[in-house]
Copies of this chain bind each other. A is one copy, B any other.
Amino acid sequence: MNDLHLLSPKGFRAGAVKAGIKASGKLDVALLASDAPATAAAMFTTNKVFAAPVKIGREHIRGGTLRAIVVNAGNANACTGRQGEKDAITMCRVAAAKLDCDPKEILPSSTGIIGHLLPMKKIEAGIAGAAIDLGDSIEHAMRFTDAIMTTDTRRKLAVERFKIGRETITIAGVCKGAGMIGPRLRSSGGPPQATMLAYLTTDATLSAPALRKLFQPAVHRSFNAVTIDDHTSTNDTAVILASGQANANINTISTAKKFLDALTKVCQSLAYQIAADGEGATKVVRVEVVNAKTQRDADQIAREIANSPLVKCAMHGNDPNWGRIVSAAGKTSGKFDPDRSTLTLQGTAVYRKGRPLPFDSERVSASLKASEVVAKLDCGLGKASSTVWTCDLSKDYVTINADYHT
């Protein structure tokens, strides 16, 4: 989508500054603002250990309208008690003063080290600086994207466009997250180093309930279907703002379907980029479970395979180890019958109905060297399917997570 970016949907501006929160001295405080009150929906971590901005964010999203998202990286404001909550509210208050709105129209977000109070002088100065910086250029969009990164090695962004009548609607999104990734986001609802944060913009016109209703399935089939280490973070957050500036209303079944399709594509692209940039990852592993008995079984089996360290190591070593995959499926509580299952690795059937199939293991191993590997398990029991994205498990994952010290 070439030059499209987070601020391509009409009605948004962003700003970012180096406030000195990240030890690296990089961009770390940012604002994403809507020119006018925007319809908004958000989903947050289901971890019982959740950060102060998640608590405040849950309250502020209730109105269904937001003016801006204020975010910092380098400090998660998690496990920071009552003071942490006050600090998250202060972030909203400072941003609201700059944008001339109600603090409850601001959603706060934080990522980084946990268990430390935010350095509020730096944060407040940073928010003021980000407000001055606000603009709608591609540079502003990229600076916002950079400001939310922690252990990420690259920017993650996605944009989709579609038409309703003559009007073009744009949906854009950025996200971050490289470790402590196993989001299970819910509409309402610790201590991580990395966290999944996703911010989306669109210029479509929707009611808040409609936006919420469409955001949920898109998130479920994307962010909730990516896992690096199955670790639901304290700060996981996904938010979408709809400015309504495109003069195109999503208020019929057919427009809602178009919107959902585009939104799901944006979210899935971002989720895929998270898996590809997983800590230590050398490849994306796409686990497809088809013909499971129930949706719950399909989701559970796909997630179990994607989280198995034995499967992830085998994928790292380009080993067509069908046994680890089939037995990972068999250990879930879901219905699974090895005698009815077929496993395909990169298009080659390696296991069928309880028995391995003869296959050229050197050829299949070579096919596993791709940057995206597909393991497809047909359960032969029903019609439910589920796709989960993960990455391989490398020595670099251990290095990143064993050598990092709190």
Q: B232, B320, B394, B395: which contacts A406 (Cβ < 8 A)?
A: B320
- Copies of this subunit: 2
- With A48-B337, A354-B81, A398-B395: A327-B190 Cβ-Cβ less than 8 Å: yes
Chain B proximity of A352: nearest CB distance (Å): 11
Tell me whether A317 and B47 are in contact (CB under 8 A).
no
Tell me whether B190 and A406 are in contact (CB under 8 A).
no
List CB contacts (< 8 Å) of A14-58 with chain B. 46-50
| A309 close to B (CB within 8 Å) | yes
Residue ID in chain B nearest A328 by CB atoms = B231
User: Which residues of the other chain, B, contact A361 by a CB distance below 8 angstroms?
Assistant: 405-406
Residue ID in chain B nearest A338 by CB atoms = B49
| A321 close to B (CB within 8 Å) | yes
| A129 close to B (CB within 8 Å) | no
Tell me whether A313 and B231 are in contact (CB under 8 A).
no
| A275 close to B (CB within 8 Å) | no
**Distance, CA A115 to CA B320, complexed state (A):** 13
Tell me whether A191 and B324 are in contact (CB under 8 A).
yes
User: Which residues of the other chain, B, contact A404 by a CB distance below 8 angstroms?
Assistant: 317, 319
Q: B78, B229, B337, B402: which contacts A316 (Cβ < 8 A)?
A: B402
**Distance, CA A391 to CA B355, complexed state (A):** 33
**Distance, CA A354 to CA B50, complexed state (A):** 10
- With A398-B394, A401-B314: A323-B79 Cβ-Cβ less than 8 Å: yes
List CB contacts (< 8 Å) of A283-336 with chain B. 308-310, 313-314, 316-317, 319-324, 326-331, 336
| A100 close to B (CB within 8 Å) | no
Chain B proximity of A317: nearest CB distance (Å): 3
**Distance, CA A404 to CA B315, complexed state (A):** 11
Tell me whether B406 and A323 are in contact (CB under 8 A).
yes
Count of residues in A whose CB is under 8 Å from the partner chain: 65
**Distance, CA A48 to CA B50, complexed state (A):** 35
Q: B184, B331, B354, B394: which contacts A232 (Cβ < 8 A)?
A: B331
Q: What are the interface flags for A261-283 relative to B under an 8 Å C-beta threshold, 1 for contact and 0 otherwise?
A: 00000000000000000000000
Chain B proximity of A261: nearest CB distance (Å): 31
**Distance, CA A353 to CA B165, complexed state (A):** 56
| A180 close to B (CB within 8 Å) | yes
User: Which residues of the other chain, B, contact A114 by a CB distance below 8 angstroms?
Assistant: 323
Tell me whether B47 and A402 are in contact (CB under 8 A).
no
User: Which residues of the other chain, B, contact A316 by a CB distance below 8 angstroms?
Assistant: 398, 402
- With A190-B326, A326-B191, A327-B233: A398-B403 Cβ-Cβ less than 8 Å: no
| A244 close to B (CB within 8 Å) | no
| A202 close to B (CB within 8 Å) | no
| A192 close to B (CB within 8 Å) | yes
Tell me whether A336 and B192 are in contact (CB under 8 A).
no
Tell me whether A398 and B49 are in contact (CB under 8 A).
no
**Distance, CA A114 to CA B231, complexed state (A):** 31
User: Which residues of the other chain, B, contact A337 by a CB distance below 8 angstroms?
Assistant: 48
Tell me whether B115 and A319 are in contact (CB under 8 A).
no
Closest 4 CB pairs of A and B: A191-B323, A317-B402, A49-B330, A190-B327
